[in-house]
Structure 1
Amino acid sequence: MDIATLIGIVGGLGLIVGAILLGGNLFAFVDAPSLVVVVGGTMAATLVMFPLKTVISSFKVAMKAFLAKDPNPQELVEQVVSLADKARKESLVALEKVEIDDPFLKKGVRLVADGSSQAQVQSILESEINFLKQRHRRGQNVFKGLGGAAPAFGMIGTLVGLVNMLQTLDEPEAIGPAMAVALLTTFYGAVMANLVFLPVARKLEERSNDEQLVLNVAMEGVLSILNGEHPHLVREKLLSFLPPASREGEG
């Protein structure tokens, strides 16, 4: 579980609630009609922007922001080097008997063991990566859409509240509470967009970048094995994909 995401959201809400409690009454910031306008309007606009199936699947993808395990590219590098060593000592066909947990690497190794050409292997693996990018981008775009719609409907709710307030100008004692309720929709929209939707979209983007890095390392490793490169050269080539700090102690 990614504890940073949970700490960020809970910590942000805690800071907001703490500031409210220090300055006034927490229940003054609770208004059901305002929540209905912001939450309902945001979801309605999102359903207009994206198909229902995409919206539902995006929330499943969003769980990666909380539950996804950080990939370990160093471990993958060593696994590929081990496969390259086996291929040089025995043969490419011998790789068929190796147990590989990672499905992407397994597909690439099976293609190599089956005698596929470099162009075929590279084309298939690149297509896999590209379709992964598209799937991830759809989930990110849904949350970006939510992040854009929430403040907009917050402002719409505020305008509705102001219109209602202006209709009661002959009652001065009602203006203050009505104005407070009108502003709550903007408050809700800003919090939802900037503490949940947009940060989750950005976290999903980072997760996708990390996953693509691992896939690119695996693809380059598979192509190196196919070309019969020395395991030491394979290790050095794959480590070049990683940040310098991640290479310490390798090789």
Structure 2
Amino acid sequence: MNITYIIGTVVAMGIMIAGMMFTTDASGAFTTSAKQLMNFLDPASILITVGCTFAVVVASFPPKMLKNLPRHFRIMLNTKKYDPMYYIDQLVELAQVARKNGLLALEEKANAQDDPFFKQAIMLIVDANDADKVRGILNNDIECMSARHDGVAGMYERGSSVAPAFGMVGTLVGLINMLKNMNLSGDGGSSSIGSDMGTALITTLYGCVLAHMIFNPIASNLRTRDEEEVLCKMIIVEGIMSIQSGENPKSLREKLLTFVDQNKREDGGGAKGEKKSRGKKKNEE
């Protein structure tokens, strides 16, 4: 679970709401009042900023991308799916099998893999394909996957750029209404100036909240998940190519560990324990 995203979003929302509740009494002392929150609730601002932002995002991307919104959130919140140490341990185990029994013995291991990319990589060397062909196919798969992920993150970045723009549109709408309704004939001011000015300012607030508290964190987390997946697939490619060339399992582990942080290298046994726990959990289910 991506706990930092949840904590950060909740804390940001909480601080903003707490700030909205602050007010001053007759003596000038600070107090809090829940009634203050109603000052920041404006249906016209919600309609202009939130409604138009989501409408433009829908208009900018194909339906097949939009229908995957729930899947995007699951991916964003899942920080445990791509563990480099898990793949390193798997590859070292494959190298040991191949060294003892040959590459054809890896077919059974390939069929046991849940990761389609990992399975494809193993089968490419089991089928005795040329090394350059294997590397080319796998690298092309990674590039295409990363391009798809970039498009998904771009959808949320699009929302982040559009939201402040419609906040400004709402501001202009409020100012135009205020000026149109302003009475300068000497018979008194317009009674709608307050509500029109409120719409003008609150739309800007909504636009900033949508951009920087909703869309931007989602896009950043999706790009982080993409980087994690690309790293694991690069490890798979390098490991598979080394297995095909008959590299020693110990040397293979040392090579693949260069892809991860020093702290994870020192805690190399953690992935094996996690692998066992995954298997145990799967059996229990």
TM-score above 0.5, yes or no:
yes
Aligned equivalent of 2:66 = 55
For residues 71 and 33 of structure 1, do their structure 2 counterparts lie closer, same or farther at Cα, with a shift above 3 Å needed? same
Tell me if 1:225 matches 2:243. Answer: yes
1:175 deviates by 2.2
- SS of corresponding position for 2:181: coil
Alignment of 1:39-54 (within 5 A): 39-54=50-65
Alignment partner of 1:197 out of 186, 197, 215: 215
TM-score (norm 2): 0.83
Distance 1:123 1:106 in 2: 16
Q: Secondary structure at the match of 1:167?
A: helix
Q: How far off is 1:59 after superposition?
A: 5.3
Distance 1:59 1:163, change over 3 A: farther
Partner residue of 1:26? 37
Separation in structure 1 between the aligned mates of residue 199 and residue 268 of structure 2, nearest angstrom:
60
Q: Counterparts in 2 of 1:68-107, with a 5 A limit?
A: 68-98=79-109, 99-107=112-120
Contact between 1:147 and 1:197, CA under 8 Å: does it hold in 2?
yes
Task: Report if the CA contact (8 A) 2:44-2:199 is conserved.
Answer: no
**C-alpha distance in structure 1 between counterparts of 2:113 and 2:59, whole Å:** 43
Structure 2 SS opposite 1:63? helix
| Letter of the structure 1 residue corresponding to residue 146 of structure 2 | K
Q: How big is the shift at 1:108?
A: 0.7
Identity %, equivalent residues: 37
Deviates more, 1:44-53 or 1:12-21: 44-53
Alignment of 1:150 onto 2:163? yes
- Residues 71-220 of structure 1 correspond to what in structure 2 (within 5 A)? 71-98=82-109, 99-170=112-183, 171-220=189-238
Unaligned runs of 5+ in 1: none
Cα RMSD (Å): 1.7
CA apart distance, 1:18: 0.8
In the TM superposition, residue 86 of structure 1 has moved relative to its aligned partner by 0.9
Q: Secondary structure at the match of 1:240?
A: helix
Whole-angstrom distance in 2 between the partners of 1:129 and 1:135? 10
For residue 70 of structure 1, report the CA deviation from its aligned partner.
4.3
For 2:244, the aligned partner's letter is: L
Q: Of 235, 253, 258, which aligns to 1:235?
A: 253
2-structure distance, mates of 1:202, 1:180: 32
Superposition deviation, residue 55 in structure 1: 3.1
Letter in 2 for 1:195: M
Q: Distance in 1 between matches of 2:69 and 2:20?
A: 32
Counterparts in 2 of 1:30 and 1:225: CA distance versus 1, 3 Å? same
Whether contact under 8 Å (1:62, 1:139) holds in the other structure is no
- Aligned partners of 1:162, 1:216: CA distance in 2, in Å? 54
TM-score, normalising length from structure 1?
Answer: 0.94
**Which of 1 and 2 has higher RCO (CA within 8 Å, sep 6+)?**
1
Query: What is the CA-CA distance between 1:58 and the residue it aligns to?
Result: 4.8
2: distance between equivalents of 1:83 and 1:187?
55
Unaligned runs of 5+ in 2: 24-32, 184-188, 270-285
Write the distance in 2 (CA, Å) between the matches of 1:63 and 1:102: 17
Amino acid corresponding to residue 261 of structure 2 in structure 1:
P
- Structure 1 position 110, deviation (Å): 1.2
User: Does the aligned pair in 1 maintain the 2:98–2:243 contact within 8 Å?
Assistant: yes
